[in-house]
Amino acid sequence: MALTFDIEARSATSNARTGRVTTAHGSFETPAFMPVGTRASVKGVFPSQVADTGAEIILANTYHLLLRPGHELVARRGGLHPFMNWNGPILTDSGGYQVYSMGDLNEVDEDGVVFKSIIDGSKVRLTPERSMEVQHALGADIIMAFDDCPPSVDPRTFNETRKRLTAQRSKRDRDAYDHAERLDLANERTIRWLERCAEAHASSGRDEIQSLFGIVQGGTDFEKRAWSAERVCSVELPGYAIGGVAVGEGFEEIVSVVRHTAPLLPVEKPRYLMGVGYERDLVAAVRAGCDMFDCVLPTRNGRNANAFTPTGQIKLRNAGFAEDDGPIDPECDCLACSGGGAGPGPARGPFSRAYIRHLVMAGEMLGPMLVSIHNLRHFQRLMLDIRQTIRDDAWSAFARRWPVAAEGIDDPDQQ
C-alpha cells in the first residue's frame, strides 16, 4: 500500500476523528490543512518556513505545472519533491477544476477537455489518462481523479459572467441559468472518467508509490451527491474527496452538503474536502468527518495584507494600524508575531503592525512575506487545536478560543 490511514481518536459528540496518513514521503496528522503551492511554490514562503508553520503536506496544481515548466521537465528533475525542495508528502489536483475555473472552455466531450493555455493560447488536451500521466510525472504522494467540472452558468455567456462574478467577488448566481442537464451529464461522466483514471493508474505500476483519490460531485443536490458517492466509492481507492463545494455557496449550504456527503464515504479512509476554506467551514467539516483540506486563503490574503486572527481578519492597510506597535496576533507564535529579528542587540521582538503596514504601503516584498507566514501558521494553529479538541471532545472551550470558527460548531455546549 502506498498510503495508510490510522485513526487515533474519535470525538464522542460528532463524526470528527484524528489520525495519521502515511505516504512514501512521510506522514501527516489529520485533520490536516494543506497550504497551496500552485506552481511548485507556496507563494512568498520558503519551504523550510512552510514546514516551520506546522504544515506537513502541501498541494500543487497539475494544470499550472503542465503548462510551465512542463511535467516532463519536472520528471527529469526527479519529480516535484526534489524540484521544489519539499521532501514531505505532496498532493496534486487533477487539472479538472482549473480547466473549469481558469480557461476558456473550448471543448469538452466524452473523451476529455481541450483548453487554451493561459500562457500562450495554445490548445492543450487533458483526458483522464493524460491527467494520470502528468501526475505520475510530477510524482506527488496523493493524486486526484480527473473530473468533469461543469460551468455553473450558461456556456454561451460563461466568459462574460465569469468576468463579472470575478470582479464582484460575489457568489455565482446559479439559479439564473438552467444547467441541470449539464450537471447531470458531468456527474455521470465523472464516474466514467474515474474508472478510466483508476485503470490508467493501476496499469502504470505507479500505484505502489502514488495514491489515487476519487472525487464525489453532485453540486448542492443531496440525491445527486448520494448517487455520486455510491458510484465513486464502488471504485476501491485509498481515499475519497468531496469536490464542487465552496464554489460560490454560502456557509449554510457548504455545511449542509458536507454533513450530507461525508458520512457516505468509507469511515476507515481519509476524506478530503477540496478547496475549503474559512475557519468555521473547516471546523464544521471536521465535525462532519472530513480529514484533509486545502485553500489558497492564507497566502492569497497574505499578499493582500489581510491577516487572520482568532476573532476575524484584519486589513493591515488600514490607517488605524499605522502606529500600532503590537504584533498581528499577540497569541500567535509565528515568525512575524513572535520575533525573528537579527543582530547582536538584546531584543528580537515581533514585527509590529505599524512596520508591516509600512512595508505593504511601500510595496516592499517583506510585507506579504510576513503576513503569508502568519496566515499559514494561523491555520496550522487552528488545526492543532482542532486535533486536541477532538481528543478532549471539548468544543465549547475551543469555540471560546476561536470565535471566528464558533459558527462551525452546531452546538458547542452539547458536552
Footprint of a copy of itself (CB under 8 A):
25-27, 39-41, 43-48, 50-52, 56, 64, 68-69, 73, 76-77, 81-89, 322-323, 325, 335, 339-349, 351-352, 354-355, 357-359, 361-362, 364-366, 368-369
In one-letter notation, the amino acid at residue 244 is G
- Minimum distance, C-beta of residue 286 to a copy of itself, in the bound complex (Å): 24
Least Å from the CB of residue 351 to a copy of itself: 6
d(CA 262, CA 270): 10
In whole angstroms, give the CA distance from residue 146 to residue 189: 10
Minimum separation from the CB atom of position 331 to a copy of itself (A): 19
Q: In whole angstroms, how close is the CB of 28 to a copy of itself at the nearest point?
A: 9
Which sequence positions are flagged as catalytic? 93, 294
Shortest Å, Cβ 368 to a copy of itself:
7
In the complex, least distance from residue 8 CB atom to a copy of itself, rounded to whole angstroms? 18
What is each CA distance from 382 to 50, 304, 334, in whole angstroms? Answer: 15, 21, 13
User: Minimum CB separation from a copy of itself for residue 46, in Å?
Assistant: 6
Q: Are 93 and 58 in contact (CB under 8 A)?
A: no
Measured CA to CA, the distance from residue 346 to residue 384 in angstroms comes to: 32
Per-residue buried b or exposed e for 9-36, using 16+ beta carbons within 10 Å of the residue's own CB: ebbeebbbbbbbbbbebebbbbbbbbbb
Q: Which is nearer to a copy of itself, 250 or 344 (CB)?
A: 344
What are the residues whose beta carbons fall under 8 Å from the beta carbon of 384, sequence distance 6 or more?
Answer: 54
- Which amino acid is located at 42 in the chain? V
Strands 306-307 and 314-315: antiparallel
Distance CA 286, CA 81 (A): 28
Q: Which is nearer to a copy of itself, 82 or 330 (CB)?
A: 82
The CA-CA-CA angle for residues 297, 301, 304, to 5°, reads 160
Three cell numbers at 66? 503542465
Q: What residues does 30 pair with on adjacent strands? A: 19
* Nearer residue to a copy of itself within complex by CB, 56 or 93: 56
CB nearer to a copy of itself: give 312 or 330.
330
In the complex with a copy of itself, the residue whose CB is nearer, 53 or 261, is 53
Cα torsion at 221, 222, 224, 225 (round to 10°)?
A: 110
d(CA 148, CA 228): 12
CB atoms within 10 A of CB 147: 33
Q: Which is nearer to a copy of itself, 70 or 312 (CB)?
A: 70
For a copy of itself, give the closer residue by CB, 78 or 312.
Answer: 78
